[in-house]
Amino acid sequence: MRRNRTAPSRFRDLAMAVHKLDATGLKCPMPVLRASRALRRLNGGDVLIVLATDPAAPKDFVQFCAAAGHRLKDSGEDAPGVYHFEIEVGA
């Protein structure tokens, strides 16, 4: 008897992998370029959490996700000048 090795759809969100990228100290366009490279290695539904200090990063990541087909699940400022971005890889 063959065993189904794919997770049932109700469990797929639980099986996603979460990755982190520290882009603090990098200036535009490097945080987005590093994130783009990291996202290419991930599977659809995986999440990349990016930390960045570039003041242009909030606007850049919104535009990048819209253009690249990824979902910006969450973003904000953790501390003065330190931003986080939670990006779900597009299918």
Give me the active site residues, please: 28
Give the β-pairing of 47-52 and 18-23. Answer: parallel
What one-character-per-residue DSSP string does 7-60 give?
A: PPGGGTTTT--EEEEEETTPPTTHHHHHHHHHHHTSPTT-EEEEEE--TTHHHH
